[in-house]
Amino acid sequence: MNRIAVFPGSFDPFTKGHEDVVRRGLKIFDQVVIGIGINPNKTRYFEPELMEKKVSEAFDGQENVLVKTYTGLTAEFASENNARYILRGLRNTTDFEYENTISQINRDLLDGLETVFLITSPELASISSSVIREIHKFGRPVDKYLPYKL
């Protein structure tokens, strides 16, 4: 039986912190499906198609990493991808409080769906997508925070 995990998020943009969680997750899971969630009620800074392309490039040649966009519930996305696990990174206690609530709801929506939390590597803990968007918006370079070139 393959251990498949989905790594969901808006990934607006996908950062080196996200990449680190996926690479470390591959030591636990046979396959990680990176799910770029599209919420029609939110305005994105980077188009999901661009993120799908760039993230796919970052994992080029790794057959055990898939990159997909999705709408709807993460539990349904997990089910559609035969995943029994959700992979999430935690930078701090605020992340934990939020993610803990979501993980309980996801397990209720899909019986047996477990969430696995990885603590962010210390050198990457300060990186957040919102900060990167702000830096980029003001014309400053952001490539050192991303696993690909924009």
Indicate which CATH number applies to the domain containing 97: 3.40.50.620
Query: Active-site residue 18, yes or no?
Result: yes
Residue 150 is assigned to a structural domain of this protein: no
Query: Active-site residue 136, yes or no?
Result: no
Q: What is the pTM of this model?
A: 0.95
Query: Active-site residue 103, yes or no?
Result: no
Provide the residue range defining the domain that includes 124: 4-145
Domain count, the chain: 1
pLDDT above 90 coverage of the chain, percent: 94
Catalytic residue (choose from 54, 88, 103, 129): 129
Catalytic residue (choose from 18, 54, 88, 136): 18
pLDDT tens column, 78-124: 999 999 999 999 999 999 999 999 999 999 999 999 999 999 999 99
Residue 82 is assigned to a structural domain of this protein: yes
How far is 137 from 132, CA to CA, in rounded Å? 8
Catalytic residue (choose from 27, 42, 140, 149): 42
Catalytic residue (choose from 91, 107, 121, 133): 91
**pLDDT bucket at 33, cuts 50 / 70 / 90:** very high
50 CB contacts (<8 Å, ≥6 apart)? none
Residue 88 is assigned to a structural domain of this protein: yes
| pLDDT(1) > 80 | no
DSSP string for residues in the chain: ---EEEEEE--TT--HHHHHHHHHHTTT-SEEEEEEE--TTS--SS-HHHHHHHHHHHTTT-TTEEEEEE-S-HHHHHHHTT--EEEEEE-SHHHHHHHHHHHHHHHHHSTT-EEEEEEPPGGGTT--HHHHHHHHHTT---GGGSSS--
